[in-house]
Amino acid sequence: MIEEHVIFSHLLYNEEYCRKVIPFLKTEYFQTRPNKIVFGLIDKYVKTYYRVPTKEALQSEILSLTNISEDEYSICKDTVQTFNADLATSIDWLFNETEKFCQERAVYNAIMDSIKIIDGKDDKRGKGALPEILTEALAVSFDTNIGHDFLGDAEQRYEFYHLREEKLEFDLKYFNKITKGGVSKKTLTCILASTGVGKTMFMTHCAANHLNMGKNVLYITMEMSEERIAERIDANLMNITMDELRDLPKDSFNKKTNRIKSSTQGKLIIKEYPTSSAGAAHFRHLLQELRIKKNFKPDVIYIDYINICASTRMKMGGSVNSYMYIKSIAEELRGLAVEFDLPIITATQSNRDGYNSSDLGLDNTSESFGLPATVDFMFALMSTDELADMNQILVKQLKNRYSDINENKRFVIGVNKSKMRFHDVDDSEQENILEGPKKDKYQDKPVMDNTQVGIRANEEDNMKWMTRKAGRKDFSSLRMT
C-alpha cells in the first residue's frame, strides 16, 4: 500500500495528482494526529486558493496553529521538510494505489467504529447502524468521470442511442405504449386519483404482475396494514373475488399459494410503517436489512402513498409549507430510486377541485405542485358513474418523460374490483376517447367526445364559461341535468 508521506509529497509536487485525489481523501484516513493536521492544511489551502501549496506556505500555516502541542508542531514541521516527489512515477499507479489506501483505511475505521458500538462505547449510534457503516466503507471508490465530451465521445453516444434499455413492463398494453415498453430504472412514477378510485388497487395489481414476471417486489404501505395489502394481491394472483378469498378452505388456499410459488422466481415483501412516520432514510435502512437478512434486492418499490411519507430533510411547521415538504419527499424518493438503480411507483390524492372531476390535470395535485415537477411519469385515474357501469377506468397522461404526452393522452382500461384486477379492453373502446384538444367558443380544455361522460363534461364546462361571463359566483343552480 502507498505510504502516507508519498501521498503528501505528490499532493505538493504533482498538481494533476492533487486535483484528481484531493476530493476523495479524508482526514480520518491518516493514522497519526500530526499527519491529520498536515493533510487538513493541504486540503484547506487547495480549496481556498485552487492551487497546490508550497513547503513555505505549509510551514507558515503550521506556525499559525494554536491547538497543537510543541511535539506535534515539531513533527508537522519535520514532516513537511521531508516532502520530495519523484515526478517520473506513473500517475495511474499513484491514483490506483491511493484509491486502495482510501478503501483500506475506510474499512479499518468502520471496523473500529463497529467495535465501539458493540462494546457500548458509542452514545450516539446503536447496533442497527452497523450495516450502514460497513456498507458506506465498502462503497468507497474514486469516480474519475468528469463529464461527457460531446465531440470526443460521439461513438459512445451512438452506442447509447441504440442500446436497448432494460425496463419494467406493465401487463396493460397502452401503458407499455406510452412508456415505450415500461418504466425505467432510477425513475419516480406517480398515480393521481380521487379517494376510492383505485390508486392502491392499481399498485397492488402491478405488484402482483411484476411478481408473476419473476421480479422482486417491495411494497411499502403507510395507509393499510400488511395483511390488507396481501389480501388484495392474493385475490389478484388467485383470480378469485375478495369474498371468495375469505371463504376459501385452508387446503385450497395452500394449493393456490403453492401454485403461485412454483410459477415465479420472484419475491414480494410487504412492509408497513405508521402514517407519516417513515421516509427515504427509513426505506434505505430497510433495503440494507433486507439485503443482509433475506438476501433480497428489489427490482421495483411501491410506496402507498407519497403524501403520508415523512421527509428526511424537513419538518413541517414554521417556514416549511406543504409545497416544500411534499416536494422534498418526492426528491428524496427519486434520489433513492437513483441510488438503488430501480423504479419507484407511488400515488397521490387529487385536491378538492378534482374530487368529482372527469378531467383531472396537474393543477389537481393535492398539497404540492412540486410533486409533478419532480416525477418522471405521472398519470391520472378517473371514474364516473357511466365508466363504473362499464367496469372501466379512464387514464390520462399528465407528465411523461418517455414519449410525447399527446399520443394516447387518454385511454380506458377494464377493471374488476372484486378481484382487484385491471385488464386491457378492446381497441374499439378507445375510439370515442378524444386524443387532442378540441375547442369551441365555450370550451377551454379537452374532454372525451361522443360519450355520456364527454357530454356531461362539456355541459359543465359550458356552464362555467357562461357563469364567468355573467360574473356570477354560484352556478350550481344552473347546472344541466
In this prediction, residue 477 carries a pLDDT of: 43
Check pLDDT > 60 for residue 253.
Answer: yes
In this prediction, residue 359 carries a pLDDT of: 83
Q: Are residues 318 and 213 in the same domain?
A: yes
**Weakest mean pLDDT among 41-55, 116-130, 398-412, 445-459:** 445-459
Q: In this predicted model, what pLDDT tens digit does every residue of 125-171 receive, in sequence order? A: 888 888 888 888 888 888 766 688 888 888 888 888 887 788 999 99
In this prediction, residue 439 carries a pLDDT of: 41
Q: Are residues 280 and 404 in the same domain?
A: yes
Confidence grade of residue 473 (pLDDT, cut at 50, 70, 90): very low
Q: State the cell numbers at 481.
A: 341535468
In a domain, 157, yes or no: no
Q: How far is CA 313 from CA 221, 281, 324, 326, in A?
A: 21, 10, 11, 11
Q: CA–CA separation, 456 vs 356, rounded Å?
A: 12
Return the higher-pLDDT residue of 471 and 30. 30
Q: Which residues does 80 contact at the CB level (< 8 Å), separation at least 6?
A: 38, 55, 58, 59, 62
Contact 221, 272 (CB under 8 A): yes
In this prediction, residue 354 carries a pLDDT of: 75
In a domain, 481, yes or no: yes
**Weakest mean pLDDT among 161-165, 305-309, 327-331, 434-438:** 434-438
Q: Residue type at 341?
A: D
Q: Are residues 193 and 337 in the same domain?
A: yes
Domain count, the chain: 3
In a domain, 151, yes or no: no
**Weakest mean pLDDT among 30-44, 379-393, 432-446:** 432-446
Confidence grade of residue 480 (pLDDT, cut at 50, 70, 90): very low
Q: Are residues 43 and 84 in the same domain?
A: yes
In a domain, 173, yes or no: yes
User: What is the domain extent for residue 443?
Assistant: 437-481
Which CATH number goes with the domain that contains 401? 3.40.50.300
Which residues are registered as beta bridge partners of 394?
Answer: 382, 412
In this prediction, residue 29 carries a pLDDT of: 94
Q: In this predicted model, what pLDDT tens digit does every residue of 22-40 receive, in sequence order? A: 989 999 999 999 999 999 9
Q: How far is CA 282 from CA 274, 343, 371, in A?
A: 12, 17, 20
Q: In this predicted model, what pLDDT tens digit does every residue of 70-112 receive, in sequence order? A: 899 899 989 898 888 888 889 889 999 999 999 999 999 999 9
In this prediction, residue 464 carries a pLDDT of: 56
How many beta carbons lie within 10 A of that of residue 130, not counting itself? Answer: 17
Q: CA–CA separation, 55 vs 59, rounded Å?
A: 6
Check pLDDT > 90 for residue 266.
Answer: yes
In a domain, 350, yes or no: yes
Q: State the cell numbers at 3.
A: 505510504
In a domain, 469, yes or no: yes
Q: Are residues 423 and 401 in the same domain?
A: yes
Q: Are residues 226 and 241 in the same domain?
A: yes
Q: In this predicted model, what pLDDT tens digit does every residue of 183-214 receive, in sequence order? A: 999 999 999 999 889 999 999 999 999 999 99
Q: In this predicted model, what pLDDT tens digit does every residue of 276-321 receive, in sequence order? A: 999 999 999 999 999 988 999 999 999 998 999 999 888 877 677 8
HEC-encoded secondary structure of 181-197 = CCEECCCEEEEEECCCC
Which DSSP letter does residue 168 get? E
Sign of the CA dihedral with 71 first, then 76, 77, and 81 last: positive
Q: CA–CA separation, 434 vs 423, rounded Å?
A: 21
Q: Are residues 233 and 378 in the same domain?
A: yes
Q: State the cell numbers at 373.
A: 415537477
Which CATH number goes with the domain that contains 89? 1.10.860
Q: Are residues 275 and 376 in the same domain?
A: yes
In a domain, 156, yes or no: no
Contact 396, 359 (CB under 8 A): yes
Classified as helix, coil or strand, 271 is strand
